[in-house]
Amino acid sequence: MNAEQHSSDNSIDRLENLLELANLLNRQTDFDEIVRLVTEHARTLCNAEAGLLLMINPGTRKTIRTIFRAGSNHTPQKYSKAHQQLCGWILLNKQPILLDNPESDERFHNANLPKAGVRNAIGVPLLHRDILFGTFILINKHEGGFDQQDQHVLQQIITLAAPHLHDVQEMQAYFEPKIPRSALLQKYHSVGLIGKSKAFIEMLESVEYAIRSNVRVLLEGPNGTGKELVARAIHKFSETANGKFVGFDCGAVTESLFESELFGHKKGAFTGAINDRTGLLASGHNGTIFMDEIASMPIAMQAKLLRALQENEFRPVGSNTTCKIDARIIAASSNSLWNLVQDGTFREDFFYRLYVYPIKLPALAERAEDIPLLANHFLHKFAQKQNKALHSIAEDVMDFIIQQPWPGNIRELEHFIERLVARTDQAATVLTRKALPPEQKRSFQRKRREMHDLHHHESLEEKLQRHEIELIQEALHKTGGNKSQAARLLKIPTPTLRYKMQKYKI
């Protein structure tokens, strides 16, 4: 086989390996396994003794840690000092490096790499959407030295892997230990984030990493799941806590006023601008800006805000002066922004500017075991607010609450409990079914009968009586309690209806 044929075969093998890696990464969800796959594939394809993946702390941007080492026995560890020197150069210059003769390389004349066992090395920066987040280094080729082809292959691998490796939450986990669960729950209980379910704890862990990382956050979840509460918690516990928290509902602003609301305006900038006005970005400088329902922002405004975020400056309407902006941006949406990008109703470049650290907020149905905790929390909150003596919820009422679908999520549950508290006597200490509004009371009774039926087999007569009671109650509800109209609706004489109401104690 000639050299040209051998080179061609190697190229095909490498291409097949790259395709295999791409397939593996697309199927893999475990971050540690992704790191291992990338490091091992790179080391194998380039025939290196050692492969090292290093990442920058996404929270501080000041510390670097070796995330994974690949190599036989303890080979990677012996290069620890050497790879720090190589990593430093790559991060400083943001360029790949090909080192074939370290002894005579002026860039490392003080590093004494040969003494550390380095004969040759290649390394590339880890970049994703222009964000530098680490380096990847291969040390000592088994045969000969690394060449431009090796460097090209390594660059292809890292370009392929970068989107999978740039996971801020997973990266942060290497630098910060997880806060104990009890401490985590207690910390966020203090700001009204209450629960203990798996879905809730996973969300809190994401919030905790977001706080430490100080990156842009995108909150996605159904209406009523507490997105603003989460945004306020991120602000309270992060470095921006001393600044202002400025909230902005993009869905509540008309398109013509958007630019003025965001950037502010100068007096006389347009009809009706009778005074200077400070916009959202200026108000939130050195603090946190929360943009709710970001999907409602017009496309034209998305482009203008994108430019402001890219350049960290903006210009008020009617002004010739630019203003600097340094604030944490938290965006929120009840719809999937990526689906809107696919539909063409949301800019893709703006999406990626916001989608640095996404946090999914679970619907209440996904955290049903939290409902009793939330219901009791709201009970105490509104009992105190309304000066009521309530301190607990009757067991049958709590069972009823748990069984409801709550399409409006936590917000709907909160309003429901507030209404029940308002319907309870001042001196009552337990919230009972008496507080239920008529429609919920009927639903409650149906649920009770259904639960009863699960444990007791009804006779035909009992089932007929139960059905008759339900029909009478429904007719009375539709007629506002008018017995004559209800009797006509049921097509029975009014005296018969009165008799049955007395019989069934309706």
Q: Which bin fits 61, alpha (ψ -120 to 50), beta or left (φ > 0)?
A: left
Cβ neighbour number for residue 60 with a 10 Å cutoff = 12
Mean pLDDT, to the nearest integer, of 308-325?
89
Average pLDDT over residues 482-491: 90
Q: Is the pLDDT of residue 295 over 90?
A: yes
Instruction: Write down which residue in 315, 337, 362 finishes a domain.
Output: 362
242: which DSSP letter? G
Same domain? 144 vs 44: yes
C-alpha 449/C-alpha 248 separation (Å) is 47
Q: How far apart are CA 324 and CA 315, in angstroms?
A: 9
Same domain, 124 and 183: no
* Across 473-500, average pLDDT: 88
The residue that leads in pLDDT, 462 or 154, is: 154
Question: Of 124, 141, 174, which residue constitutes the final position of a domain?
Answer: 174
Same domain? For 54 and 124 the reply is: yes
- Write the CA distances from 133 to 33, 57, 130, integer angstroms: 19, 8, 9
Q: Are residues 308 and 410 in the same domain?
A: no
- What does the CA dihedral 459, 465, 468, 473 come to, rounded to 10 degrees? -120
pLDDT band at 444 (very low <50, low <70, confident <90, very high): low
- pLDDT, greater one: 241 or 102: 241
**Residue 127, phi then psi, degrees to nearest 5:** -130, 140
Both structure tokens of 145: 């030295």
User: How does DSSP classify residue 313?
Assistant: E
CB 498 within 8 A of CB 484: no
Q: How confident is the model at residue 333 (pLDDT cuts 50, 70, 90)?
A: very high
The answer to whether the beta carbons of residues 121 and 140 sit under 8 Å apart is: yes
The residues that bridge with 99 in the sheet, in sequence order, are 121
Domain final residue, candidates 362, 394, 429? 362
What is the model's pLDDT at position 77? Answer: 53
Domain that holds residue 480: 368-503
435/420 Cα distance (integer angstroms) = 5
Provide the CATH number for the domain around residue 419.
1.10.8.60
Q: For residues 199 and 367, is the Cβ–Cβ distance under 8 A?
A: yes
- Distance between CA atoms of residues 349 and 47, nearest Å: 38
Task: Determine which of 193-197, 361-365, 440-444, 482-486 has the lowest per-residue pLDDT on average.
Answer: 440-444
Q: Are residues 165 and 227 in the same domain?
A: no
pLDDT of residue 118: 85
At 107-131, the pLDDT tens digits run 876 667 777 788 889 999 999 988 8
Q: What is the CATH number of the domain that holds 295?
A: 3.40.50.300
> Does 505 or 425 have the greater pLDDT score?
425
**Angle, vertex CA 108, rays to CA 53 and CA 143, nearest 5:** 60
Tokens 């049903």 belong to which residue?
Answer: 368
Q: What is the mean pLDDT of residues 391-395?
A: 93
Q: Domain check: are 197 and 156 in the same one?
A: no
- List C-alpha distances in Å: 132 to 37, 57, 82, 330: 21, 11, 21, 22
d(CA 466, CA 385): 40
CB 131 within 8 A of CB 166: yes
The whole-number average pLDDT for the span 425-442 is: 87
pLDDT at 448 over 70: no
Residue 478 has pLDDT above 80, yes or no: yes
| Same domain flag for 354 and 413 | no
For residues 384-411, give the mean pLDDT: 93
Task: Supply the pLDDT for residue 135.
Answer: 94
Spatial distance between the Cα atoms of 483 and 119, rounded to a whole number of angstroms: 98
170 in the same domain as 181: no
pLDDT in tens, 72-112: 554 545 555 667 778 888 988 899 999 888 788 888 766 67
Q: Is 245 exposed, middle or buried (0-12, 13-18, 19+ CB in 10 A)?
A: buried
| Statement: the pTM of the whole predicted model exceeds 0.75 | no
Q: Which residue has the higher pLDDT, 62 or 453?
A: 62
β-partners of residue 218 are 331, 358
Return the HEC string of 162-215. HHHHCCHHHHHHHHCCCCCHHHHHHHHHCCCCCCCCHHHHHHHHHHHHHHHHCC
Residues 311 and 444 occupy one common structural domain: no
Same domain assignment for residues 336 and 401? no
**Residue 369 C-alpha from the chain's centroid:** 21
Nearest of 161, 96, 173, 166 to residue 130 by alpha carbon: 166
